[in-house]
Structure 1
Amino acid sequence: MTLAASLPTSVLAGDGFYLPPEESPHQRTFMQWPVSRKVHPDPVFLDMTQDAIARIANAISEFEPVTMLAAKSDHARARKMLSAKVELWDIPTEDLWCRDAGPIFVTNGKQLAIRHIQFNGWGEKQVNTRDARIAEAVAARLDLPLLPTPLKGEAGGVEQDGHGLLAAHESSWVNDNRNPAMSRDQIEAALLDAYGADRMIWSEGVWGEDITDYHIDSLARFTGPGRVLINLPAEPDKSDPFHMAALDTHDALEAAGLDVDVIYEPDRRRVKSADFVASYANYYVCNGGVVAAQFGDKQADAEAVAALKRHYPGREIITLNVDPLGELGGGIHCATQQMPAI
């Protein structure tokens, strides 16, 4: 039976291509090597960031093949830090966020294609001369169709279950820095078509307070049909726009009839800065494993592992210290992009 045959026909929208669930089998994982000194002016912190990316790639490579995208001139440095299991491709990069700038692979059950949601540096907030071309370069390297969309945005800004349901924050899409000429209804229709879905849950999100305009993948993740794992503050601060938006998203997911499982943010984490992203929800599911962050709060870290075991039984849970990514506003899921098996 093909993947397409195993899904409801309603999932196969538009041209018949759809994005399978992240937990379905992968051919490989794609990642990006961070190098730009315009993005990372501190050379010491850039070294720390590269080390974190290498450790994520090496952990995933124990479960499935990993391809690291980097300009040829950056391969020697990367090779010293990467496992021999990680393959390097000569595709130039600036930053590490492959979930956003990288290829979005879709399938019709018979072949793969790349859906082209155009990356523009989160609304031209960051240099993206190289990163904006990555999806096209990967499509050319793999000789895959590049399927156009009218959208500018990032895959980290929409969560999908692979069974016809999407969720997103309006702030990451209905925003003049991405899609100024499109209404929410037009954006929704384009997203549903791009992902091969038929239903969408919106909540407002937060405009202009972080580079992503509050990507949903650092807050809530689908773990199967009708199931969501969401990372909430244990004691919400009514003056914090992210706390209030997180609660709104929780309520919208529950109102949609989903089974919403809450895990709480760490309290005693290593990095104390207010803008540090301490998200247990920003994990990555690979073949046989889940790679997630730990933040140094033993109780909260253990509770997060227990939640991941509940939602992904039979998979090995690997936790890593990736604090540099949290300081940059993201996490492990933001740094990865899956290529589905067909």
Structure 2
Amino acid sequence: MERRRFVRSVMSLAGGALVAACGERTSAAAPAPGVRRVMPDEGDPHRRTWMAFGVSDRVWEPAQVPVVQRNLAAIAKAVARFEPVTMLVRPAERDLARGLLGDAEVELVATELDDLWLRDTGPVFVTGGAAVDFNFTGWGGKQQHSNDRRLAGLVTARAGARAVHTGLVLEGGAIEVDGEGTAIITESCVLNRNRNPGLSKEDVEDRLGGLLGLEKIIWLPGIAGHDITDGHTDFYARFAGPGVVVAGLDPDPGSYDHEVTRRHLEILRSASDARGRELRVEVIEAPTRLRREPAGPDFAAGYVNFYLCNGGVLAPEFGDPEADAAALATLRRLFPDREVVQLDIDGIASGGGGIHCTTQQEPALR
């Protein structure tokens, strides 16, 4: 997730969570005998999608909150056309959520929440009936997370999965995999001292290899310090199939993402995956016009933060006729067997994230 906003006042971490999570370097629990853990490709069949209806008043102004809530409901309803959806919701907002969801078949689970970014706060499901808890710390201590740090365990338990614990600190938006042993990860996030101080690239590769079944990691530099995530992968590059990557390009020379996205394209075009295939890189340019101007410095205007569900692709549109149409055409070409649905998610984007950031898949293969 490319979260563009730094919260105005950095909250202290409850109980020294950052120190404990980063300092303890326990090895990951071993899978059952004969079982190899693999994080499946997002395009593989899902059992369900998990979401969170928990808009943070530290991120959005009061007038924006209802807009963000409607955006969340629209995403949930769109996903529910393709597969089951379970949405975590604050007890006090359960009736509100149900009203916005209408007759959509979305299961609501009451729990306290800090924010809506379940891609980062939830677990990462892997094969072997397990889910990895990557110790959510509010993106390196930048946001209050005393409720959200519990969500990986809660979702794992409700899904009936086996919890896998690790000393690594990262978020789901930082990891993009092809399901065949290859991952794309940004250095600016996972190798950041605010997550994993003292760990080298090789240390991280070794641990993620066992946790997610990875054989090769393609490292993108990302860019730290400009958004709350320090540059999550899922705003920059996504797998669209074996050996195929769709990558974002910011065409605005005045944007801090312009040069880094150009550098990412250079790296990806010269890279190969774990099977030795040279990557085919498809580019989607960010919009140059937005529906609502001025959108604010935190607005996450990019099309790569799409979400794959059973038979569907959910992607944003921003009111730029040419860029919206180009993104739609590219996604339809890359996913010919899926229905591509574009949604207005401007409220969510104003807080620095997108559709992928709000969702977390539970794979059917367990």
- TM-score normalised by the chain length of structure 1: 0.91
Q: What are the Cα deviations for residues 228-258 of structure 1, in whole angstroms up to 9, with x where unaligned?
A: 1112123x52x64321111111111111131
**Alignment partner, residue 111 of structure 2:** 91
Report the Cα offset of residue 274 of structure 1. Answer: 4.2
Match of 1:298 in 2: 321
1:158 CA drift (Å): 1.6
C-alpha contact 2:56 2:116 (8 A) present in aligned 1: no
Corresponding residue number in structure 1 for 2:26: none
Give matches, 1:116-195, under 5 Å: 116-195=133-212
Q: How many aligned positions are there?
A: 323
Output the TM-score relative to the length of structure 2. Answer: 0.85
Partner of 1:211: 228
* Aligned-partner SS, 2:151: helix
Q: Tell me, yes or no, if structure 1 residue 253 matches structure 2 residue 268.
A: yes
Q: Distance in 1 between matches of 2:102 and 2:267?
A: 42
Work out whether residues 192 and 200 of structure 1, in 8 Å CA contact, stay in contact via their aligned partners in 2: no
**Which of 249, 269, 286 matches 2:290?**
269
Q: Residues 57-72 of structure 1 correspond to what in structure 2 (within 5 A)?
A: 57-72=76-91
Matched with 1:43 is 62
- Take 2:127 and 2:191, find their aligned partners in 1: how far apart are those partners? 27
1:303-326 deviations in whole A, cap 9, x for unaligned? 111111111112111101001121
- CA shift at 1:70, angstroms? 1.6
Alpha-carbon distance between aligned partners in 2 of 1:141 and 1:315, rounded to the nearest angstrom: 29
| Aligned with residue 54 of structure 2, among 34, 39, 42 | 34
Of structures 1 and 2, the one scoring higher in RCO (CA 8 A, sep 6+) is 2
After TM superposition, give the deviation of residue 292 of structure 1 in Å: 0.5
Q: Distance in 2 between matches of 1:321 and 1:244?
A: 27
Query: Separation in 2 of the partners of 1:136 and 1:25?
Result: 23
For residues 82-132 of structure 1, the C-alpha deviation after alignment (integer angstroms, 9 at most, x for no partner) is: 143111012322111111001211113xxx211111111101101101111
Hey, what's the Cα distance between the residues in 1 that align with 2:297 and 2:321? 20
Helix, strand or coil at the partner of 1:209? coil
Of 99, 116, 121, the residue aligned with 1:80 is 99
> Are the equivalent residues in 1 in contact too, given 2:345–2:354 (CA < 8 A)?
yes
Task: Give the whole-Å Cα distance in 2 for the aligned partners of 1:17 and 1:211.
Answer: 30
Matches of 1:39 and 1:329, distance apart in 2: 9
Identify the residue that residue 54 of structure 1 maps to in structure 2: 73
Task: Tell whether 2:357 aligns with 1:334.
Answer: yes
- The residue number in structure 1 matching 2:245 is 228
Secondary structure in 2 aligned to 1:137? helix
| 1:277-316 pair list within 5 angstroms | 277-316=300-339
Give the counterpart of 1:202 among 197, 219, 223.
219
After superposition, the C-alpha distances for 1:13-35 in whole angstroms (9 at most, x for unaligned) are x7311111111111110001124
**Cα offset for 1:174?**
0.8
Once residues 78 and 241 of structure 2 are traced to their aligned partners in structure 1, the CA distance between those partners, rounded to angstroms, is 23
Cα deviation for residue 191 of structure 1 reads 2.2
SS in 2 for 1:75: helix
Please provide the CA RMSD for this pair.
1.5
Q: What are structure 2's unaligned runs of at least 5 residues?
A: 1-29, 272-277
Answer yes or no: is the 8 Å Cα contact 1:160–1:166 preserved in 2: yes
Q: By how many angstroms is 1:39 displaced?
A: 4.0
Report which stretch shifted further, 322-331 or 77-86.
77-86
Query: Aligned equivalents of 1:17 and 1:55: distance in 2?
Result: 33
- CA shift at 1:275, angstroms? 3.6
Q: CA–CA distance in 2 between the matches of 1:192 and 1:67?
A: 29
| Distance across 1 between alignment mates of 2:308 and 2:64 | 27
Rounded to whole Å, the distance in 2 between the matches of 1:38 and 1:295 is 24
SS of match in other structure, 1:313:
coil
**Aligned match for 1:100, one of 114, 117, 120:** 120
Asked if structure 1 preserves the Cα contact closer than 8 Å seen for 2:55 and 2:68, the reply is no
1:241 alignment partner in structure 2: 256
